[in-house]
Amino acid sequence: MDELLKWRGEFPILDRATYMISNSLGAMPRRVYNEVRAYADSWAERGVRAWEEGWWDMAVGVGDRIAPLIGAGRGEISLHQNVTLTQAVISSCFDFRGPRNKVVMVELEFPSIQYFYHEQRRLGIRVEVVPTPDHIRIDLDKLLAAIDETTLLVPISQVLFRSSSIVDARAIIERAHRVGAHVILDVFQAAGSIPVDVRSMGVDFAVGGVLKWLCGGPGVAYLYVREDLRAKLRPALTGWMAHRRPFAFETGAIDPRDDSFRYLNGTPHIPALYACQPGLDIVNKVGIGAIRDKSMRMTARLIDGARTRSWSVNTPESPAERAGTDSVERPHAYEVCRELLARDIIVDYRPKAGVRVSPHFYNREDECDFTLAQMEEILKTGAWEKHAAATTHA
């Protein structure tokens, strides 16, 4: 008996679809309806008083529900609209005009982060992108060698979005600290899927969002800053939420707080901060240990099923190296994905990855078999062909 299936009733979409895409957008808990209503009620009934009755503190307070999932403590997280913005806040703490001006990242880093740092070259940043041998793993030795005395920041994902490969974050942090560089660990694809412990890793910063494995919906990203750095660094991307006396409306330069509010800037995204809470509560209750155990079983089952059909998988074979997604590579993978979606089997397609299948704790193991069986049927019957005309992907 799979104990975790008792949570299925909390997620309405599971009655209507085979939902295998939690690496992209986790299923919505039905309690989100109540939270969004609570937000509307507080605005409608309390009006502007809602700020002092709770809204003002939410961009740090709600972070306490994320903290246990990444090994952080209370008050150690600030919340932002997306991960790209958290990178902007972090990088704005540093001066790239001196000799230590390099940002090292890997080719498999999430593209938005690459776009952001490349544009910062106008501020003096030198970007070194370390090539990877394939689309599955990073070249750890090459990455470690690229981190040198001129390196200021190393933004790196703990789990790669394309292949779900787990990166040796400890080795990267150790190397970076040895030469005086800072690591920004993106745990977006890790939190809620595998155990994450930012404090024990000693990482400088950790960032991520809640909309995937944490079932928290779009609009909330988290930023953890290590305790000893928190009050020392000073973001240039700042605003009145970070001021010690925001309601004094003092003019001129900011007098910044020393706690996690220091990393905030303008008015926060209150509706999203309400909507994210049911998912976080559920994932905390289910527990990462149970989620990881089941995830390893399901991803192994998907890999076995793909191998039996002689399909290749762009995901590491070893469970220790693999997080929650299997990327199944097939000819016509894009069209197969479109047909799966038409059949209410929700997966996605990414170039150089294939069809990404991401079961979560609420999935039944037979849904893994069903997804592969449907892919096989779509290929055999040529049902994918009707999507070929619409194909824009190479």
Ligand X SMILES: Cc1ncc(COP(=O)(O)O)c(C=O)c1O
Chain residues that interact with ligand X, rule: CB under 6 A = 82-84, 110, 112, 157, 161, 186, 188-189, 209, 221
CB-nearer residue toward ligand X: 189 or 363:
189
User: Residue 22 to residues 61, 68, 190, 212, 325: CA-CA distances in angstroms?
Assistant: 25, 20, 12, 5, 9
Phi and psi dihedrals of 78, rounded to 5?
A: -115, 150
Query: Least distance to ligand X from the beta carbon of 335, Å?
Result: 23
Query: Least distance to ligand X from the beta carbon of 386, Å?
Result: 29
Q: Which residue has the tokens 């790209």?
A: 84
Residue 262's CB is within 10 A of a number of other CB atoms, namely 24
Q: How far apart are CA 82 and CA 80, in angstroms?
A: 6
CB-nearer residue toward ligand X: 23 or 374:
23
Q: How many residues does the chain have?
A: 394
CB-nearer residue toward ligand X: 209 or 305:
209
Buried b (16+ CB within 10 A) or exposed e, 75-91: ebbbbbebbbbbbbbbb
Q: Is the dihedral of CA 288, 293, 298, 299 positive or negative?
A: positive
Contact present, 218 and 317 (Cβ < 8 Å)? no
CB-nearer residue toward ligand X: 157 or 363:
157
Query: Can you name the residues that pair with 95 across neighbouring β-strands?
Result: none
CB-nearer residue toward ligand X: 42 or 164:
164
Task: Give the count of alpha carbons within 13 A of 195, CB side only.
Answer: 8
Q: How far apart are CA 92 and CA 86, in angstroms?
A: 10
* Nearest of 12, 13, 27, 3 to residue 358 by alpha carbon: 27
CB-nearer residue toward ligand X: 275 or 379:
275
Query: Least distance to ligand X from the beta carbon of 230, Å?
Result: 22
Query: Can you name the residues that pair with 348 across neighbouring β-strands?
Result: 356
Query: Least distance to ligand X from the beta carbon of 232, Å?
Result: 26
CB-nearer residue toward ligand X: 84 or 150:
84
Query: Least distance to ligand X from the beta carbon of 269, Å?
Result: 12
Query: Least distance to ligand X from the beta carbon of 111, Å?
Result: 9
Query: Can you name the residues that pair with 157 across neighbouring β-strands?
Result: 186
Query: Least distance to ligand X from the beta carbon of 98, Å?
Result: 28
Structure tokens at 264: 């905030």
Query: Can you name the residues that pair with 207 across neighbouring β-strands?
Result: 186, 223
CB-nearer residue toward ligand X: 62 or 383:
62
Query: Least distance to ligand X from the beta carbon of 58, Å?
Result: 18
Query: Least distance to ligand X from the beta carbon of 83, Å?
Result: 3
List, in sequence order, the alpha helices (H) in 186-316: 198-201, 227-230, 270-275, 277-286, 288-308
CB-nearer residue toward ligand X: 190 or 372:
190
Phi and psi dihedrals of 257, rounded to 5?
A: -65, 165
Query: Can you name the residues that pair with 19 across neighbouring β-strands?
Result: 346
Query: Least distance to ligand X from the beta carbon of 295, Å?
Result: 16
Query: Least distance to ligand X from the beta carbon of 191, Å?
Result: 10
Long-range contacts of 53-59 (CB under 8 A, 24+ apart): 55/268, 55/270, 58/268, 58/270, 58/273, 58/274, 59/241, 59/261, 59/264, 59/268, 59/269, 59/273
